[in-house]
Amino acid sequence: MRAVVFERYGEPAAVREVADPRPAAHGVVVRVEATGLCRSDWHGWQGHDPGITLPHVPGHELAGVVEAAGEHVTAWRPGDRVTVPFVCACGTCAACAAGDQQVCERQTQPGFTHWGSFAQYVALDHADVNLVAVPGDMSFATAASLGCRFATAFRAVVQQGRVAAGEWVAVHGCGGVGLSAVMIAAAAGARVVAVDVSPAALELARTFGAERCVDAAGTEDTAAAVRELTGGGAHLSLDALGSPATCAASVDGLRRRGRHVQVGLLPSASGTTPVPMARAIALELELLGSHGMAAHTYPPMLELVRSGALRPDLLVTATLPLDAAPAALAALGTAPGAGMTVIEPWS
């Protein structure tokens, strides 16, 4: 099969022929029809994830068709249209038994713990626990967008963030995760403030329901701007980018007893991220992490997508062939872009 491979961290990746994967006894091989280009893939390429072994194939948000299934797989067969959370759970540890597969103790992650979906085929573990059926009327590009960024944003806003109608929600960083969070919060009846350095990203945020926007490039203190726009601070704030500056601004922009959810990865290369804990103590803030979304919790989100209340398809702003993926991956470091880019490995 053809796949995007990098041999050294931070050095150019290339498309080349590699061996087709085979399914584990409990796993499947999926023919990848669409896979998202995510900033997490860039972090992996930069060497920020210690679980990666070189050479490596990135890619972790995908949709496609089951090509082959292992002998112990009972729920899926070749030809099934599927997607998968980026965290593949074992199904048997204590966290999985509690329903918290997104923090599985023995999780695997395509594109990180093993070769990923910037390829024509990808192997996925524990298929009966992790696969999610893709409705026949949903495009593969839309389904691929659910597996990491949209599902991650849904859990961060709805399940971890406990968004409520009428609350102010601040979203710092309006890439794929951030725009998804804007759309989801607005659909829940919240009033959204979007924060980004890109006018294009902020315009998309307005399109997807942001009531107010803050241009972080031209604003000296974004947290103060959020507090002013929301009459004292956001009830819920998300760092959807992942940087020391956006993390601190998200916390500083909260009102009393507000809730901060950290979604964007904070790479160790930046050192330990300082968090304004004095403010967290004084205002009794909640500081929460959010890490993907378990497969068994997808149905409410899928129902909102089917009903048209949520439109993840509108977040897909570019579609690329596999040959364009290496350059697009490298560009994420300096120009993350607005919306989601989807790679179609067979085009």
Give the pLDDT score at 338: 66
**Per-residue pLDDT at 39 exceeds 90:** no
Contacts (Cβ under 8 Å, ≥6 apart) of 277: none
Residues 98 and 16 in one domain: yes
pLDDT (tens digit per residue) in 186-220: 999 999 999 999 999 999 999 999 999 999 999 99
Residues 139 and 46 occupy one common structural domain: yes
**What is the per-residue DSSP string for 157-214?**
IIIIS---TT-EEEEE--SHHHHHHHHHHHHTT-EEEEEES-HHHHHHHHHTTEEEEE
pLDDT at 333 over 90: no
Give pLDDT, residue 337: 61
In terms of domains, do 133 and 50 share one? yes
| Residue 106 resides in a domain | yes
Q: Which helix (H) or strand (E) holds 43?
A: helix 39-46
Pair (251, 302) in one structural domain: no
Asked if the structure places residue 144 within a domain, the reply is yes
Task: Assign residue 236 the CATH number of its domain.
Answer: 3.40.50.720
Euclidean distance between CA atoms 231 and 80, whole angstroms: 50
pLDDT score for 233: 98
My answer on whether 145 and 6 are in the same domain is: yes
Number of neighbours of residue 213 by Cβ within 10 angstroms: 21
Task: Specify the CATH number for the domain of residue 35.
Answer: 3.90.180.10
Last residue of some domain: 273, 289, 305? Answer: 289
Judge whether residue 268 has pLDDT over 80.
no
One domain, residues 41 and 78? yes
Burial class (CB in 10 A: 0-12, 13-18, 19+), 59: buried
* Better-scored residue on pLDDT, 107 or 145: 107
| Domain closes at, from 244, 262, 289 | 289
Q: Indicate the number of domains in the chain.
A: 2
251 lies in the same domain as 282: yes
Same domain, 225 and 141: no
Note down the domain range covering 173.
162-289
Does residue 154 lie in a domain region? Answer: no
Query: Is the pLDDT assigned to residue 269 strictly greater than 60?
Result: no
Q: Binning pLDDT at 50, 70 and 90, where does residue 136 land?
A: very high
Q: Residue 198 and residue 238: Cα distance in Å, rounded?
A: 17
What whole-number distance in Å separates Cα of residue 105 and Cα of residue 94? 8
Place 294 in a pLDDT band, splitting at 50, 70 and 90: very high
Least confident of 32-41, 69-78, 186-195: 32-41
- Residue 155 included in any domain: no
Q: pTM (2 decimals)?
A: 0.90
Does 280 lie in the same domain as 301?
A: no
